[in-house]
C-alpha cells in the first residue's frame, strides 16, 4: 500500500483516514461504480482497518451488526449507490430497531445528476430516514472528516443506532483542501444532540423510584438491552441481590443478568417462561431497566402488570409512555441510574415471594419430549451443554429462535445476538460471521431454520475464504415453522406459503462452497455429531439437523392477548384469531 | 369532467378521535431534508399537518417551524418527544392559546361586479382591520391578518360574496413572556 501525503488527499482518502482514526476495525462491503474512489482509498491509504468482501450488501449490514452486538463497537458498511444501497435497508432497519451502532457509507451518483434518474441513482438519504438514527448526503468534500466524526459519535452514544453517509462520486474523488489534523481535532457542533444528559439523572424521579422500590413486597426487575449497552451488569447484580428481587430479561437482554442465577426467571413475553410471565401478572412492582416495553413482552397493554407499580428506566425519553405509562419515569443511562439508586434503596427480604415463584419454576419447567423424532429443543439443549453455555449465539427468526432463547441460557452480555425488534430472517448466519471476526477465539454458533438460512447463505463463501470456524446450525423442518404454527392454531391448520419443498441438500451445498457439512437425523446421534462440529476449526461447518416437521413453541401468548392468557401447552379448543399482528 | 374544487374555507365536521388546533414550534437546523424527517414522524402516526410555516431564523444556521396539527390525542406527547429526538431538531414545544400568541394572514380574492357589492365587502374588510391590496373592475384581493379564528370569521363573512380563491399563510406562534418559542 502506497503512503499518501495528507496534502494530496482526495475526499475518499480523507473519509477512510477519519474512520480509521476513530478506531473502526472492520469494513464489510460490496464494491460498485459510484463507490470506486472510496474502494480505491482502502488501497491507497494505510489504515488498521480490515476490509471484508461479502456476497450481498444485506450480508454486509448483518455482519457489521453481529460485530457490534458482540463488541459494542460499530463497524462500517461500504456499498455502492442504487441497488447496492437499497440492499442495505433490511440490515439498517434491523440495527435501528435493536439500537445497534453501525456506520453505512454508500456511494452515490455525481451531485449534478441527482434527481435525474441517473444510472444507479437512488435517493438513499430519503429512503433511509425512517430506519436510521441519522443520515447525511455529503455536498462538500471538505465536510467528509466532520461528517464521519459526527456519524461515529451519533451512532455510538446515547441510544445507539445506524448512521448513513451518502457520498456522491464527485465529492469522494475531488481533492480535499482542508487541514486534516485540524478537522480531526475540531470539537463537534451538534446543538440538537446531547447524549451526556443521560448521565445527569433527575433527583426527584430517583427519589420516587426508590420510594416505590422500598415499599414493594413483590418486586420484579425487567432487564433489557439498555442495561447491557450501558454496561450495568454489576450494578444490576448488586441491585437484585440487595432487594432479593427476581430478574426477568427481554430477548435482547439475555445474559445481562446470568440466567443460571437463582434469582433469574429467564426470558419473559410471547414465548418466555411461564414463571416470568406469571411473575409479571402477580408482582407489585415492575422495575424496568433499559427495556422499551416491546409488544412481544407486554401483550395486551392495559392488562400488563395490572397489580404492579411500574418504574421505567430508559435512556430514550421518547420511550416513556409509548407502550406503557409508568408510575415513575427515570430518563437516563441504566448504569448511571442504578449507581445513584443503589444507596437509596433498603436491603430487603423477599423470601416468600421468591419461594412462591420457585413453585412456578418447579410446576412449569421448560421441557420437551424426547420421543417421536428429533426436536430442535434437543439439539439446542445439547449444544448448550457441550459449550457450557459460553458460545456466542446468533439466531434467525422463528421457532428455532424462541427455542434457542429458552434452551440456550446465557450468563454473560454480548453473547446472544438476535434480531428482536425487526424480526429479520437471514440475520443469524451473517450476524455470526461479524461476531466471529470480532471474537476470533470464541465459539460462534449460527442458529437458523432452513428458511432463514437460505436467505443469506451466499455468505458461506465469505466464511470459507476467511476460514471462520463458525458452527452453522440449520434446524431443518422443511417449513416456515412459526408461521405454520400460527396457521395450525388460528387458521384451522390451513397451510399457506409455508412448505419449503425444494430445499437443497445442505451438506452437499456446504461442500460445494468448500465448507464441512454434517447431517443429524437421529436423536441418539446429536451429541456425537455436535461434538464433531465443535472439534472442527479449519473453517465453517454446516450442521443440518433434520427435525420433526410440526412441533410448536410453548409457552405462547397470542399476539395482543394478556400475559395471564398464556398457553403453557397446546390448546384443546379452537383458538380465536389474535388481535395483534404476528 | 373536471372535479369542482371549493377553495372557500368551510370547517370540516368535527371528529372525536382527532384533536385539532394543536400548535407546535420547532427550532431546527437549516438544512435540506430536515423537513422530510419531521413530516415522516407525523405521517407514520397518521397525524395531519394542517398548517406549516418554515422560515430562516435570525441565525441563518437554524430555521423556525410552526406546525398546526391534528390526530389521535393519545399520541401527541410521544410525537413531540420523537421530533425532539431528531438530531436536526434543537427543540420542539407545544403551545396553547394561553401561553402564546398566534397570527396568520390570508389573501382573499373576491369577485365584485357592481358597486354595491364592493361597498359591502369593503365594510367587512374595514371591520376586520384588513386591507385591499389589489383592485380591478371585476375583483379585489383582500389581506386579513390576526389570530386564526379572526381570519376564519372574516372568510366566513366573505363567503356570502363570490370568493374566487383564498390563500392562507398558516399560523406562526410565539410564546408569551419569558418562555421561549
What digits encode the pLDDT tens for the residues A302-328?
999 999 999 999 999 999 999 999 999
For cell 442504487, the residue is A82
CA–CA separation, A13 vs A145, rounded Å? 10
For cell 389521535, the residue is B72
Strand residues in A427-556 grouped as ranges (E)? 444-449, 471-476, 516-520, 541-546
- What Cα–Cα distance (Å) separates residue A348 from each residue in A225, A244, A288, A352? 26, 6, 18, 12
Q: Which of A93, A97, A482, A566 is catalytic?
A: A482
User: pLDDT for A135-183, tens place per residue?
Assistant: 999 999 999 999 999 999 999 999 999 999 999 999 999 999 999 999 9
CA–CA separation, A483 vs A487, rounded Å? 6
- A329 strand-pairing partners: A312
Nearest to A321 among B77, B89, B91 (CB): B77
| Residue numbers in A near B37 (CB within 8 A) | 129
Lowest mean pLDDT among A262-271, A432-441, B151-160: B151-160
CB contact under 8 A, A129 and B33: yes
Nearest to A129 among B40, B90, B91 (CB): B40
Residue B1, pLDDT above cutoff 50: no
Of residues B147, B127, B143, B109, the one with CA closest to residue B8: B109
Q: Which of A120, A208, A339, A487 is catalytic?
A: A120
Residue B166, pLDDT above cutoff 50: yes
CB contact under 8 A, A320 and B89: no
Q: Is B50 helix (H, G, I), strand (E, B) or coil?
A: strand
CA–CA separation, A311 vs A268, rounded Å? 17
| Residue numbers in A near B88 (CB within 8 A) | 134, 192
Q: Which of A43, A46, A119, A322 is catalytic?
A: A119
Give residue B49's Cα distance to chain centre.
10
Chain B interface, mutation test: which of A155, A157, A191, A325, most B Cβ atoms within 10 Å? Answer: A191
The pLDDT value recorded for residue A570 is: 87
User: pLDDT for A362-411, tens place per residue?
Assistant: 999 999 998 899 999 999 999 999 999 999 999 999 999 999 999 999 99
The one-character DSSP state at B31 is S
| Residue numbers in B near A318 (CB within 8 A) | 78, 81-82, 84-85
Give the distance from residue B99's alpha carbon to the nearest chain A alpha carbon, in angstroms.
24
- B105 strand-pairing partners: B145
Lowest mean pLDDT among A405-414, A492-501, A570-579, B32-41: A570-579
The pLDDT value recorded for residue B17 is: 59
Give the distance from residue A177's alpha carbon to the nearest chain B alpha carbon, in angstroms.
23
Respond yes or no on whether the N-terminal peptide bond of residue A555 is cis (omega within 30° of 0). yes
Residue A7, pLDDT above cutoff 80: no
CB contact under 8 A, B81 and A133: no
The backbone torsions φ and ψ at residue A512, rounded to the nearest 5 degrees and listed phi first, read -65, -30
Give the distance from residue B75's alpha carbon to the nearest chain A alpha carbon, in angstroms.
8
| Residue numbers in B near A293 (CB within 8 A) | none
Q: A339: buried, middle or exposed (CB in 10 Å: 19+, 13-18, 0-12)?
A: middle
| A 316-345 near B (Cβ less than 8 A) | 316-318, 320-322
What is the dihedral sign for C-alpha A149, B85, A132, B57? negative
| A 291-320 near B (Cβ less than 8 A) | 316-318, 320
What fold characterizes domain B19-95?
Alpha-Beta Plaits (3.30.70)
The pLDDT value recorded for residue B75 is: 87
CB contact under 8 A, A192 and B77: no
For cell 410564546, the residue is B175
User: pLDDT for A475-502, tens place per residue?
Assistant: 999 999 999 999 999 999 999 999 999 9
Q: Is B147 helix (H, G, I), strand (E, B) or coil?
A: coil
Nearest to A318 among B32, B78, B91 (CB): B78
CA–CA separation, A382 vs A368, rounded Å? 12
CA–CA separation, B101 vs B173, rounded Å? 6
Give the distance from residue B88's alpha carbon to the nearest chain A alpha carbon, in angstroms.
6
DSSP-derived secondary structure for A86-123: HTTHHHHHHHHHTT--EEEEEEE--GGGTTTT-TT---
Nearest to B78 among A133, A134, A322 (CB): A322
Q: Is B59 helix (H, G, I), strand (E, B) or coil?
A: coil
Closest residue of chain A to B74, computed from CA coordinates: A322
Lowest mean pLDDT among A46-50, A80-84, A513-517, B74-78: B74-78
CB contact under 8 A, B37 and A322: no
| Greater pLDDT, B96 or A120 | A120
What homologous superfamily does CATH list for B101-173? Answer: ACT-like. Chain A, domain 2 (3.30.70.1150)
Give residue B169's Cα distance to chain centre.
5
Per-residue 3-state assignment (H helix, E strand, C coil) for A294-338:
CHHHHCCHHHCCCCCEEEEEECCHHHCCCCCCCCEEEECCHHHHH
| Domain spans in chain B, listed from the N-terminal domain onward | 19-95, 101-173
Write down the mean pLDDT value for chain B.
Answer: 89
The pLDDT value recorded for residue B115 is: 76
| Band of pLDDT at residue B12, cut at 50, 70 and 90 | low
| Band of pLDDT at residue A564, cut at 50, 70 and 90 | confident
| Residue numbers in A near B29 (CB within 8 A) | 191-192
B41's CB contacts (< 8 A; 6+ apart) are: B79, B82, B83, B86
CB contact under 8 A, A192 and B29: yes
Any catalytic annotation for residue A28?
A: no
Q: Do residues A462 and A433 touch, judged by C-beta distance below 8 A?
A: yes
- A288 strand-pairing partners: A222, A312
CB contact under 8 A, B81 and A130: no
Closest residue of chain A to B41, computed from CA coordinates: A130
Assembly ipTM: 0.92
Residue A2, pLDDT above cutoff 60: no
| Residue numbers in B near A190 (CB within 8 A) | 87
For cell 393519545, the residue is B74
B99's CB contacts (< 8 A; 6+ apart) are: B175, B176, B179
Residue A4, pLDDT above cutoff 50: no
Any catalytic annotation for residue A169?
A: yes
Nearest to B33 among A125, A193, A316 (CB): A125
| Domain spans in chain A, listed from the N-terminal domain onward | 6-193, 198-363, 376-554
User: Given 3.40.50.620, 3.40.50.970, 3.40.190.10, 3.40.50.720, which CATH number is that of A6-193?
Assistant: 3.40.50.970
Q: Do residues A255 and A278 touch, judged by C-beta distance below 8 A?
A: no
Give the distance from residue B45's alpha carbon to the nearest chain A alpha carbon, in angstroms.
12
The residues of B whose Cβ lies within 8 A of any Cβ of A are 28-29, 32-33, 36-37, 40, 44, 77-78, 81-82, 84-91
The one-character DSSP state at A230 is T
User: pLDDT for B116-157, tens place per residue?
Assistant: 888 999 999 999 999 999 999 889 999 999 998 899 999 999
The one-character DSSP state at A267 is E
The pLDDT value recorded for residue A571 is: 86
- A189 touching B (Cβ < 8 Å): no
Residue A5, pLDDT above cutoff 90: no
| Residue numbers in B near A322 (CB within 8 A) | 78
Grid cell at residue A379: 439439539
Write down the mean pLDDT value for chain A.
Answer: 96
Q: Once rounded to an integer, what is the mean pLDDT over residues A101-112? A: 98
Residue B83, pLDDT above cutoff 80: yes
A-B Cβ pairs (cutoff 8 Å, strict): 40
DSSP-derived secondary structure for A37-82: HHHHHHHHS--S-EEEE-SSHHHHHHHHHHHHHHHS---EEEE-ST
A560's CB contacts (< 8 A; 6+ apart) are: A295, A299, A300, A578, A579, A580, A581
| Residue numbers in A near B45 (CB within 8 A) | none
Beta-carbon-side half-sphere exposure of residue B127 (alpha carbons within 13 Å): 13
Any catalytic annotation for residue A362?
A: no
Of residues A233, A106, A113, the one with CA closest to residue A162: A106
Residue A3, pLDDT above cutoff 70: no
CB contact under 8 A, B86 and A321: no
The pLDDT value recorded for residue A575 is: 81
CA–CA separation, A176 vs A171, rounded Å? 9
Nearest to A190 among B44, B77, B87 (CB): B87
Any catalytic annotation for residue A63?
A: no
Kindly give the pairing relationship between strand A26-29 and strand B62-71.
unpaired
| Residue numbers in A near B84 (CB within 8 A) | 317-318
Lowest mean pLDDT among A182-191, A239-248, B157-166: B157-166
Q: A84: buried, middle or exposed (CB in 10 Å: 19+, 13-18, 0-12)?
A: buried
Of residues A70, A69, A65, the one with CA closest to residue A103: A65
Per-residue 3-state assignment (H helix, E strand, C coil) for A278-306:
HHHHHCCEEEEECCCCCHHHHCCHHHCCC
Give the distance from residue B79's alpha carbon to the nearest chain A alpha carbon, in angstroms.
8
CA–CA separation, B111 vs B161, rounded Å? 7
What fold characterizes domain A376-554?
Rossmann fold (3.40.50)
What fold characterizes domain A198-363?
Rossmann fold (3.40.50)
Strand residues in B74-168 grouped as ranges (E)? 89-95, 100-111, 131-135, 139-146, 162-168
Question: With the CA atoms of A474, A479, A485 and A489 taken in that order, what torsion angle do they form, in degrees rounded to the nearest 10?
Answer: -170
Amino acid at each position: 500500500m502506497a503512503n499518501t501525503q495528507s496534502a494530496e488527499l482526495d475526499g475518499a482518502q480523507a473519509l477512510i483516514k477519519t474512520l480509521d482514526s476513530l478506531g473502526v476495525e472492520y469494513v464489510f462491503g460490496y464494491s460498485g461504480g459510484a463507490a470506486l474512489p472510496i474502494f480505491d482509498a482502502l488501497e491507497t491509504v494505510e489504515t488498521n482497518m480490515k476490509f471484508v468482501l461479502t456476497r450481498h450488501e444485506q450480508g454486509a449490514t448483518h455482519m457489521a451488526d453481529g460485530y457490534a452486538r458482540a463488541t459494542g463497537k460499530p463497524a462500517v458498511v461500504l456499498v455502492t449507490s442504487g441497488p447496492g444501497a437499497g440492499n442495505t435497508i433490511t440490515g439498517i432497519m434491523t440495527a435501528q430497531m435493536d439500537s445497534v451502532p453501525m456506520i453505512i457509507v454508500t456511494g452515490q451518483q455525481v451531485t449534478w445528476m441527482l434527481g435525474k434518474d441517473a444510472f444507479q441513482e437512488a435517493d438513499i438519504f430519503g429512503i433511509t430516514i425512517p430506519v436510521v438514527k441519522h443520515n447525511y448526503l455529503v455536498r462538500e468534500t471538505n465536510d467528509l472528516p466532520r461528517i464521519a466524526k459526527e456519524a461515529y459519535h451519533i451512532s455510538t452514544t446515547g441510544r445507539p443506532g445506524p448512521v448513513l453517509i451518502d457520498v456522491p462520486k464527485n465529492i469522494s474523488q475531488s481533492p480535499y483542501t482542508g487541514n486534516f489534523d485540524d478537522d480531526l481535532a475540531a470539537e463537534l457542533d451538534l446543538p440538537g444532540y446531547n447524549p451526556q444528559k443521560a448521565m445527569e439523572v433527575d433527583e426527584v424521579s430517583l427519589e420516587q423510584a426508590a420510594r416505590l422500590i422500598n415499599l414493594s413486597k413483590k418486586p420484579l426487575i425487567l432487564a433489557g438491552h439498555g442495561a447491557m449497552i450501558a454496561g450495568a451488569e454489576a450494578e444490576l447484580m448488586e441491585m437484585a441481590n440487595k432487594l432479593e428481587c427476581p430478574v426477568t430479561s427481554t430477548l435482547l437482554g439475555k445474559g445481562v443478568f446470568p440466567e443460571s442465577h437463582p434469582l433469574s426467571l429467564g426470558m419473559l413475553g410471547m414465548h418466555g417462561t411461564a414463571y416470568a410471565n406469571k411473575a409479571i401478572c402477580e408482582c407489585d412492582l415492575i422495575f424496568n431497566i433499559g427495556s422499551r416495553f416491546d409488544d412481544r413482552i407486554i401483550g395486551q397493554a392495559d392488562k400488563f402488570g395490572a397489580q404492579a407499580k411500574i418504574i421505567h428506566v430508559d435512556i430514550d425519553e421518547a420511550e416513556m409512555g409509548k407502550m406503557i405509562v409508568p408510575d415513575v419515569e427515570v430518563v437516563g443511562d441504566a448504569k448511571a441510574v442504578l449507581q445513584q439508586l443503589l444507596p437509596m434503596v433498603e436491603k430487603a427480604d423477599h423470601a416468600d415471594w421468591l419461594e412462591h415463584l420457585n413453585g412456578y419454576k418447579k410446576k412449569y419447567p421448560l421441557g420437551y419430549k424426547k420421543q417421536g423424532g428429533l426436536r430442535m429443543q434437543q439439539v439446542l439443549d445439547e449444544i448448550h451443554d457441550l459449550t457450557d453455555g459460553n458460545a456466542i449465539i446468533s439466531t434467525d427468526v422463528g421457532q428455532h429462535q424462541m427455542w434457542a432463547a429458552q434452551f440456550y441460557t446465557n450468563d454473560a452480555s454480548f453473547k446472544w445476538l438476535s434480531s428482536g425488534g425487526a424480526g429479520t430472517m437471514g440475520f443469524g448466519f451473517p450476524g455470526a460471521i461479524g461476531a466471529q471476526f470480532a471474537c476470533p477465539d470464541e465459539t460462534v454458533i449460527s442458529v437458523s431454520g432452513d428458511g432463514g438460512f437460505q436467505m443469506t447463505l451466499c455468505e458461506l463463501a465469505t466464511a470459507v475464504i476467511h476460514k471462520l470456524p463458525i458452527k452453522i446450525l440449520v434446524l431443518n423442518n422443511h417449513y416456515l415453522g412459526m408461521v405454520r404454527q400460527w396457521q395450525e392454531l388460528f387458521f384451522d391448520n390451513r397451510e399457506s406459503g409455508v412448505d419449503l419443498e425444494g430445499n437443497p441438500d445442505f451438506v452437499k451445498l456446504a461442500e460445494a462452497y468448500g465448507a464441512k457439512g454434517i447431517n443429524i437425523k437421529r436423536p441418539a446421534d446429536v451429541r456425537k455429531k455436535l461434538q464433531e462440529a465443535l472439534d472442527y476449526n479449519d473453517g465453517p461447518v454446516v450442521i443440518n439437523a433434520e427435525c420433526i416437521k410440526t412441533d410448536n413453541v410453548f409457552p405462547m401468548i397470542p399476539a395482543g392477548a394478556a400475559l395471564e392468557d398464556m398457553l403453557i401447552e397446546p390448546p384443546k379448543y379452537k383458538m380465536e384469531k389474535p388481535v395483534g399482528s404476528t | 369532467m373536471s372535479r369542482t374544487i371549493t377553495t372557500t374555507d368551510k370547517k370540516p365536521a368535527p371528529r372525536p378521535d382527532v384533536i385539532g388546533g394543536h400548535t407546535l414550534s420547532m427550532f431546527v437546523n437549516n438544512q435540506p431534508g430536515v423537513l422530510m424527517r419531521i413530516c415522516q414522524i407525523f405521517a407514520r402516526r397518521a397525524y395531519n399537518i394542517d398548517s406549516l410555516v418554515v422560515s430562516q431564523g435570525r441565525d441563518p444556521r437554524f430555521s423556525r417551524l410552526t406546525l398546526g396539527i391534528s390526530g389521535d390525542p393519545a399520541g401527541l406527547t410521544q410525537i413531540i418527544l420523537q421530533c425532539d429526538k431528531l438530531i436536526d431538531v434543537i427543540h420542539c414545544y407545544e403551545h396553547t392559546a394561553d401561553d402564546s400568541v398566534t397570527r396568520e394572514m390570508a389573501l382573499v380574492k373576491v369577485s365584485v361586479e357592481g358597486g354595491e357589492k364592493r361597498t359591502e365587502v369593503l365594510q367587512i374588510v374595514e371591520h376586520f382591520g384588513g386591507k385591499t391590496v389589489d383592485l380591478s373592475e371585476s375583483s379585489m384581493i383582500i389581506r386579513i391578518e390576526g389570530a386564526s379564528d379572526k381570519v376564519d370569521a372574516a372568510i366566513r363573512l366573505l363567503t356570502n360574496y363570490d370568493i374566487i380563491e383564498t390563500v392562507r399563510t398558516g399560523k406562526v406562534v410565539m410564546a408569551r413572556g419569558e418562555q421561549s418559542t
